[in-house]
Amino acid sequence: MATNQTKLNRSIVDLLNFAGDTVSNNLIVASRQKIVEISENDLRKVRAIVNNSIQQSLTNGYGGVEKLINEIASVEEKTTKSKKRTRK
């Protein structure tokens, strides 16, 4: 069974992937509705840049999130151990 930390990590990755997909889909819709004029070729390039930028943000920014996850996990572990000692 996955730990809460693993579940949270996966959820963060899923969130950023969803953000990238949403931006890409909105670009396609805007292009088709002529809100922006962009060729299909340029649209593919922009979508690739957006998706790569989101992945790069995850890679570069995840350290701070991971640190916070570890701090929260540590506090939860201490709290759980403290409760178990109190119950004995």
- In tens, the pLDDT along 7-32 reads 888 888 899 889 989 998 999 999 99
Q: In the chain, how many domains are there?
A: 1
d(CA 88, CA 75): 21
Residue 49 domain-assigned (yes or no):
yes
Six token digits for residue 70: 């570890």
| Domain carrying residue 33 | 12-87
Residue 1 domain-assigned (yes or no):
no
Residue 2 domain-assigned (yes or no):
no
Give the pTM: 0.67
Q: Whole-number mean pLDDT of the chain?
A: 85
Residue 7 domain-assigned (yes or no):
no
Give 1-44 as a DSSP string. ---HHHHHHHHHHHHHHHHHHHHHHHHHHHHHTTSS---HHHHH
Distances (CA, A) of 57 to 17, 44, 51, 52: 11, 20, 10, 9
Residue 54 domain-assigned (yes or no):
yes
